[in-house]
Structure 1
Amino acid sequence: MFLGSLSDRIGRRKVLIPSLIFFSLASGVSGLAGGFMSLLLIRGVMGVAEGAFCPTSFAAVAEASKPSRIGFNQGLQQSMFALFGLGFGPFIAAWLLSFTTWRGVFLLVTVPGLILSALIWMCIRDRTPAATQSDSVSHRPSEPSASIGQVLKVRNVRIGMLGLLCAMCGIFTLAAFAPLYLTEHLHLDAWAAASAASAIGFGGFAGQWILPTLSDIYGRRPMAILGFLGGAIFVFAFINTGASILPLFGTLFGATVCSFGLLSLISGPIAAESAPPGMVSTAAGLIIGVGEVFGGGLALVVAGYLIATYGIQSMLYLALGGLAIGVLLMFFLKETAPRKLAITD
């Protein structure tokens, strides 16, 4: 929420490169942690670095994109999180564990981040403030950068913050508790549960790329409404699916396509196109920050309480409720897609 706005003032590279280096080194140091508290502090540093990198990288991609391809480009960028972090990540970690310890795995994954830091230093160039403001995603005329208070006055930013919170209810609840639901409530064995739960990673990859890409063509508002509605329908279907792997995989895949697609759509093109000139990273940071703190933090606390009180299956109704509320919120979203605005004009 705070470091995202810093890159709007000092440039993308000055935030991207240090944040990625700190993230990578903190990952490696995690393997040297001697106890819970030291590991917790190290992972906290990783969270700060990730929080600085994400909105800044989204803004950099938006500024490098044609207005008609922002959804496609930012969707492709963000889909890598689900594909490698939740899809291939566990398999990569398991393969690495075949010849090293978990501490060694943390040390090894430092290397790609340092390589990418060097590539960013070589490839990404900061645009001048005038270029960023006159040639930015919405081609608005050059004017002084807005303050954070002014960014919060933009209706789409406020709706995006609430909308991402609702989407995060679906994302984090399903990602954190679906495997437990499959094993504890439906009594699937480990292999069957893992097979069904893999839909989270691969569905997330598909959704984070497809939904923003379609929004380039059909508009941000219609696809946001469809995303929340589809997510709610698939979560409801998942709740009412028995212990059969294929239906579980299919409904969970559909739910995560929609939920992760909304994450990419709201924090990507909607944030970029709604932001005042020169404040793209600030807008994305505010939207992502609220979604992470409340959707990724508070929602899990609520889900834990519901599970302890009413059983593991009750957490699915939290995800369903969040997505259903999101449908209503998106009707108040202002359309920003350049192609749709051109047709309207």
Structure 2
Amino acid sequence: MQALLKHYKIITILFLGWFLSYVDRFLINIALPFIGKDYHLSAASQGLMLSVFFAGYALVQIPGGWLSDRIGSRKVMVFSVLMLSVFTALTGLAWSVTSLLVIRFLFGMAEGGFPTASFRALSEYFPATDRSKIQSVLLSSNPLALVIAPLVAAPLIYWLDWRRMFMIVSAMGILATVLYARGLGRPTQSSSAAQAPGRHGPLISVLRDPVVWKICVVNFGLNVLIWGFLSWLPSYLLRVRHLDLLHVGVLSSLPGIAGIAGMLIGGWLADSYFAYREKYLLMITVGLAALCLLAMINASSLSAVIVCQLIIAFSLKVAFIAIWSMPLKFENTNATGSTAGVINMGSQLAGVVSPAVMGFLISAYGGSYTGAFVFLIACAVLCIVISMTMRVASQRNYPASIEQQTQPH
């Protein structure tokens, strides 16, 4: 019973870190129109404001994964969560466009080690049979944050301003830092992943593995869709659908509700009907999201837009779970952080590319979002094409490429 309670405590602490990380990313999306107004920024410049965070984040994915393999996940996560609080406050204290860009870039670098360390923590604290289910729970923090962030940010900006909104939210990170420092304790698993922080780990084998890089590319295309859609949805509702801020806050939270359902249903599908056939689940849901994006471009009513955005959010989160179910079934526990770093680098590079390209296209088309949405649809096609090249295997011979390369002979 005591061991079970400890597992629940660790899951709760890890979930809180993921939740706060995602909340911060969504806060900037809500604040962006007002930051742009204060600093007289074009859509392209606002896109750059979003992209610099992901540029810093992407730079540390592989080094952060390697560091987690070397010194253990706990130290990396404590540092990352502390920096989340510090840089959230600094965002509200920015005094110029340049300072804000530098703060967001450094913010991305400081926080970037968290996801790979969290992925590593699954190997350190939980048996292999439970890791996929627990990962689905942790990743459901993404859509939950999408629900909560607009409901918190929009009223605070409305009653105060965007600067004080960031200052208030930063206080949550202090509590999370204390929980991470005191609540995690020592790893409990007897695996080599738990016993041997300090070993270099088979990073070279990870970097040479074609399966890992294919998943990385698909993860890039999928996250271009996710971050492009979520980053510009509030601005789209304000400028194209002409809604007020409070209604935008409510409607921007609805995809989060659909996303939670997508995460939970996606985890069940990936472990049952699509077990070891996750690429088909990925292709179906990404294709559905692309069709709904096309429908949203031509939607004549607000109700049609809402239906489309709910289906898009649901489909993309199912696809997200499908991608992360793949490495959990073949990666070597000695290289958990490094594997996650390579794959997650794709999603962070998407965060760099997607907002900036969409901002450029919106400016180039005179404020129209049509070109930006077509760009997202093209990325959906990329995901489907690369997924078609992945080998589908039975449970008995599912690709264990890294595991095979790193086992002693």
Which TM bucket (shorter chain)? 0.7 to 0.9
Distance 1:135 1:281, change over 3 A: same
Q: CA deviation at 1:192?
A: 6.3
Q: CA deviation at 1:76?
A: 1.6
How far apart, CA to CA, are the structure 2 residues paired with 1:254 and 1:37? 38
Q: CA deviation at 1:343?
A: 10
How far apart, CA to CA, are the structure 2 residues paired with 1:228 and 1:30? 38
Equivalent in the alignment of 1:5? 66
Check if 1:114 corresponds to 2:174: yes
Equivalent in the alignment of 1:105? 165
Check if 1:189 corresponds to 2:189: no
Report Cα offsets for 1:145-174 as digits up to 9, x if no partner. Answer: 643221022233111110111101211221
Q: CA deviation at 1:19?
A: 1.3
Report Cα offsets for 1:63-94 as digits up to 9, x if no partner. Answer: 4344344333112212212212x221121123
The DSSP-based 3-state class of the residue aligned with 2:93 is coil
How far apart, CA to CA, are the structure 2 residues paired with 1:88 and 1:103? 18
1:204 and 1:256 in contact (8 A); partners too: yes
How far apart, CA to CA, are the structure 2 residues paired with 1:158 and 1:34? 40
1:221 and 1:330 in contact (8 A); partners too: no
Alignment of 1:22-61 (within 5 A): 22-61=83-122
Q: CA deviation at 1:243?
A: 2.7
- Identity level (%): 22
- Across the aligned residues of Structure 1 and Structure 2, the Cα RMSD in angstroms comes to 3.1
Q: Which region of structure 1 is more displaced relative to structure 2, 195-204 or 165-174?
A: 195-204
The DSSP-based 3-state class of the residue aligned with 2:311 is helix
Structure 1 portions without partners, runs of 5+: 137-143
How far apart, CA to CA, are the structure 1 residues paired with 2:391 and 2:75? 32
The DSSP-based 3-state class of the residue aligned with 1:210 is helix
| Paired residue type of 2:315 | C
1:3 and 1:51 in contact (8 A); partners too: yes
Structure 2 portions without partners, runs of 5+: 1-60, 399-409
| Paired residue type of 1:114 | I
Alignment of 1:312-331 (within 5 A): 312-331=369-388
How far apart, CA to CA, are the structure 1 residues paired with 2:94 and 2:67? 30
Equivalent in the alignment of 2:331? 275
Q: CA deviation at 1:23?
A: 1.6
Equivalent in the alignment of 1:157? 212
Distance 1:205 1:62, change over 3 A: farther
Q: CA deviation at 1:207?
A: 2.5
Distance 1:179 1:133, change over 3 A: closer
Q: CA deviation at 1:10?
A: 0.5
**Residue-pair matches, total:** 330
1:33 and 1:39 in contact (8 A); partners too: yes
Q: CA deviation at 1:328?
A: 2.8
Distance 1:202 1:129, change over 3 A: closer
The DSSP-based 3-state class of the residue aligned with 1:218 is coil
| Paired residue type of 1:341 | Q
1:196 and 1:246 in contact (8 A); partners too: no
1:124 to 184, 197, 212: 184
Equivalent in the alignment of 2:82? 21
How far apart, CA to CA, are the structure 2 residues paired with 1:280 and 1:120? 20
Report Cα offsets for 1:204-245 as digits up to 9, x if no partner. Answer: 333234323421223455344323322322332342242323
Q: CA deviation at 1:301?
A: 3.4
Q: Which region of structure 1 is more displaced relative to structure 2, 112-121 or 241-250?
A: 241-250
The DSSP-based 3-state class of the residue aligned with 1:198 is helix
Equivalent in the alignment of 2:133? 72
Q: CA deviation at 1:188?
A: 4.5
Check if 1:176 corresponds to 2:231: yes
